[in-house]
Each structure stands twice: as C-alpha cells, then as structure tokens.
Chain A
Amino acid sequence: MKKAIIELTDVNFRYEQRIVLEHINFTVKDGEFWALIGPNGSGKSTLINIILGLLKPEQGSVKLFGEDLEHFHHRELIGYVSQKSNSFNSGFPATVLEVVRSGLTRKKGLFKRFTKKDREQAMKALEIVQMDDFAEQNIGELSGGQQQRVFIARALAGEPKLLVMDEPTVGIDQQNVASFYSMLNRLNGEHGIAILLVTHEIDLVTELATHVACLNRSMHFHGVQSDYQKIDHQSISKWYGHPVRRLHQDEGEVAE
C-alpha cells in the first residue's frame, strides 16, 4: 500500500466569523499528482496554509508523512511555491543563485555553511526551470514570470518528496507554462515526487494530474482523474458557481 503523505481528517477553519472550510477530509499518497481546483475565495490557499502549518485548524487533525503536524520535523521533504511569491521587497540585494540556494537551508542543517556542491545543486534546479543563464542576476531585475520560475527552482533545489504549489504559473507565458507542466509531469512520473497543485487552469491540469480535488468551502469531489472526467458539466458548474469549460467533452459548448 502506498503511504499517505498528507492526511486531513474532518478539518474546519474560519477567519473570525467567516467559515472558510467545512469538514474537509483529504488524503494525498506517495507518488500522486493532485490538482486542487475551485473558484476565487473557495479556501484553496487557506487549505494549503493549514497543510503547511501556517494556519491552525479550528477542528480536525492534520498529518504529514504519517506524523501529527506538531511533531513533524522533516520539513526538508516539502517544497513550496506560494501564491504571492513575488511580493518580496524588490530592492532586496540577492542574486538568483543566492535565492535558489536558500532553498537548501533546512536540508543543510544548523551551523553548516554552503559548499560548492550546494551551488551545483542550485544550478541544477535553475536548469530545470531554464533560468540558469540568470544565476548571477539580481532577483529584483527579473520580470514577474522569471521570478516565479526562480521560486519554483528554490522549491525544487532540496529535492523534496512533496511539492506544494499555489498557482505557480501566474504571470508565466504560455510556452513556459507548457514546459513547466511537462516538467511537473516528469518530476511526478520519473522521480515519483508527490504534487499538490492549486490552479485555475482547469482544463490543462485535470488532464495532467492523476487526481482532482474540487473545493468550495467543502470538498465537492476528490478522486482519480478519470472519475472527474465522468462528472457531468452541470454539476461542476453548480459548485463552481459559474459555468466551467472542459476540454474534449465540452468542445463547442463553451460558456463565458
């Protein structure tokens, strides 16, 4: 049996009065590629923050790699790209390489200094996102999309077992989005890295992912991709709140 990497049981969450997540049960297992979809404000980022331990659930349990979140200390196993990565101070004096290498901090451990090998590791991660030519550039001088690719490299640098990404392709051009997704496919298929990806590019990603989770305050669907494809158009649109277009089956009846 495959090991559960993320395990949420009956999780509730609210910001002050506003209930954002209700009775969420959600499990990601070793080697799976999950697409987490849902309209704006449906609680996707909140759920991600709970999984990563940035927010505490009001109720319910969160386990990572089989351990309760409070007792989970192997954070080097997780690579993370946040939704608002490029909100950092743009005057920050750091090169692309310095930023990517900082993704190795936890893995190195306290009191160890970065070596040449760490530099090579960071360069390798930059090659994956095709940003190695920019290694010595100042991070603030890159475009938003280029910065986002650097943050993806930072998440990949430590060779994590689980990649959690909140809309990582925002601001990245179409060609690079395509190569980014094929890279994710490779990381998942060849290296067996589990992926949890929040996205609004539904038609693209539901084709690529092995599993799909549909969130809108509660979990409306979660399961393998082939089952998701069988759900009819109307019921998806109903919980999504507005008509949703899907590739293949729905061609021709595109709404909005």
Chain B
Amino acid sequence: MIDALFTYEFLQNAFLSGIIIGFIAPLLGLFIVVRRLALIADALSHVALAGIAGSLYLSQQVLFFSALNPVYFGIGTAVGGSLLIERLRTVYKHYEELAIPVILSAGIGIGAIFISLSQGFSADLMGYLFGSVSAVSRQDLFVVMVIALIVVAFIYFFYKELFILSFDAEYSKVSGVYSRFIQLSFMVITALVIGASMRIVGILLVSSLMTVPVAAAMQIAKSFKGAMLYSILIGEMAVVIGLVSAFYLDIAPGGTIVVTSIVLLLMILGWKKVRSARQVLLKEEEVV
C-alpha cells in the first residue's frame, strides 16, 4: 500500500483529498447537525447530482463541455441551489419545510433525466455517485485544497458568530450578531464542502460524512470544542480505513467510508451502554 502510494499519482490524489475532506466535512457538519440542517445538505448534494449528470450529458453533445471538469459544474449548481434555498427560506417562511424537499426532488428529477438521455457514462457516473479511488485528478485535489482553505478560514474567523447562531438564533438577533452575510456564506460554504467531497465519497453519501461522525462525537463530547475535535477524529478514521479497504477490496470508497463511520458510531453507543450498565452495577454493589 505504502509503495503504491508513492508510485501512483492517482492514489496520492485520492488519499490527500480524503484526508482533507475527512477534516472539513465533519467540521462543517457539526454546525449543520446542531442547526438541524442535515436535510439541506442532502438537498444540495442532489442538486449537485443534476449538475454533474447535466455536464456529463452535455460533454457528449457539445465540444466545449467535454473539456470542462464536471466537478466545477456540480459545485456551481450546488452553490446556485444553496442561494435558492436561502431565498425560499426567507421569502416563504411558512413553506420552509416544503422548499427543501422540493429542491431535493428537482435535483434527483433533473439528474435522472440527464442520466437516461445519455448512454454510456455509467462507469463515470458510478464514481460520482459513490466515490472513486482512481478517478481523482490533480486538478480535483487542487479544488479540494482551495475549498478547504476557504472553509477553515470561514469557521476560524466567524467561530463565535456561528456558535451563537447555532445555539440560539433568536438571541443572536437580539444581540445584533445575526447577519445575512454569515447565514448566506454558511449556505454557500456547505455547497462548497459538498462539491469538494463528492469525488471521494460520492454525491449520495456526502451528507453522511457530514452527519454520522458528528452524531458519534455528540455521544461523547461535553463541550462544543470537544465535539468539533471528536467529529474530525472520527471523520478521519472513517476516511482512512474506508479508503484503504476500498483500494484492497476494489469497491467504491463512499460505501466503505460511510459504513466505517456507522460502525464507529455503533461502537461508541455500545461502549456508552456498557459503561452506564457498569455504573449501575457498581452502585448496586455499594448499596449491598
């Protein structure tokens, strides 16, 4: 494996990208989970699907698109979708819950149309849907790095604003912290992280990498900083274990990464159960 990593550029690309998204996806995912926006992440990734499928189809039809990396197109549509969702959320407050499933359906619907229109990109498409170890190019890696820089800078500089917005949106308004800029940037950044992650974990599993490690971390963390740290640790473990096994077993890394993170979640839940049972036992012994 180590030898292969030095020999093959595609493996380096995949592992470096993997390690970067194992960091940023759970990091941003923590804010998404505590703000209960997981469904929005899902909707955006399906909008990206429409973009990717559209771009793959057009690349068969129009010369210009065959030179364009579909990832750009996917990121572009996801960002567009994030702006649209944000607009719908503010203009039609009462229909907020409806706007998101509608956009999600639109994403799958348009994606399905393009997929059936074009024949013969199923291997490519599989890579976009479930991730791929071999398909990550230098250019893709470069895009992931740039996005990671943006995400980390955003969270570093707006940490306190994002915290209060997540914990208590009303209080953030009263205290003059809430701003349209931060809210809008948050949505766009979510779209960017989805765009960055889809090459490795696949469009259908991006939101899992953003939420499952966080769900596990929240079982053991007392503080927000702690939850952040554990989310990233668990995310990285899932990505590394998932990528290595995907490479050896020759299966889609999206599957192995997400299944690994779910196994980690179950292990933590099990450990918590055993620990509390033991505490009860100890107490009973004390009583006896």
Contacts and interface: CB of A to CB of B under 8 A. Distances in A.
B159 interface: yes
Interface in A35-79: 52-54, 73, 75-76, 78
A76 B170 contact: no
A186 interface: no
Given A78-B175, A111-B157, A102 B167 contact: yes
Interface of chain A: mostly helix, strand, loop or mixed: loop
B6 to A, nearest CB: 39
Nearest to B168: A88
A111 B177 CA distance: 12
B224 A94 contact: yes
Contact of A80 (B158, B175, B218): B175
A53 B175 contact: no
A110 B176 contact: no
Given A75-B176, A93-B223, A108 B36 contact: no
A106 B160 CA distance: 9
B140 interface: no
Which size class do B's interface residues fall under? 20 to 34
Given A75-B176, A93-B223, A95-B222, A105 B34 contact: no
Interface in B91-142: none
Interface string B222-234: 1111110000000
Contact of B160 (A78, A80, A105, A154): A105
B227 A54 contact: no
Interface in B155-181: 157-161, 163-164, 166-168, 170-177
A248 to B, nearest CB: 36
A108 B163 CA distance: 14
A80 B157 contact: no
Contacts of B172: 105
Contacts of B167: 88, 92, 94, 99, 102
Given A80-B171, A82-B170, A93 B227 contact: yes
Contacts of B83: none
Nearest to B160: A105
A80 B173 CA distance: 11
Interface string A121-141: 000000000000000111000
A252 interface: no
A54 B171 CA distance: 10
Nearest to B221: A93
A99 B172 CA distance: 12
Contacts of B158: 110
Interface string B205-222: 000000000000110011
Given A54-B174, A75-B176, A88-B168, A105 B218 contact: no
A113 interface: yes
Given A92-B167, A99-B167, A105 B161 contact: yes
B224 A114 contact: no
A168 interface: no
B225 to A, nearest CB: 8
Contact of A76 (B164, B176, B223): B176
Contacts of B163: 94, 98, 102, 105
B174 A93 contact: no
B170 A93 contact: no
Interface of B: 34, 36, 157-161, 163-164, 166-168, 170-177, 217-218, 221-227
26 contacts: A53-B173, A54-B170, A54-B173, A73-B176, A76-B175, A85-B168, A89-B36, A92-B34, A93-B217, A93-B221, A93-B222, A93-B226, A94-B163, A94-B224, A95-B222, A95-B224, A102-B163, A105-B161, A105-B172, A106-B177, A108-B160, A110-B157, A110-B161, A136-B223, A138-B223, A154-B171
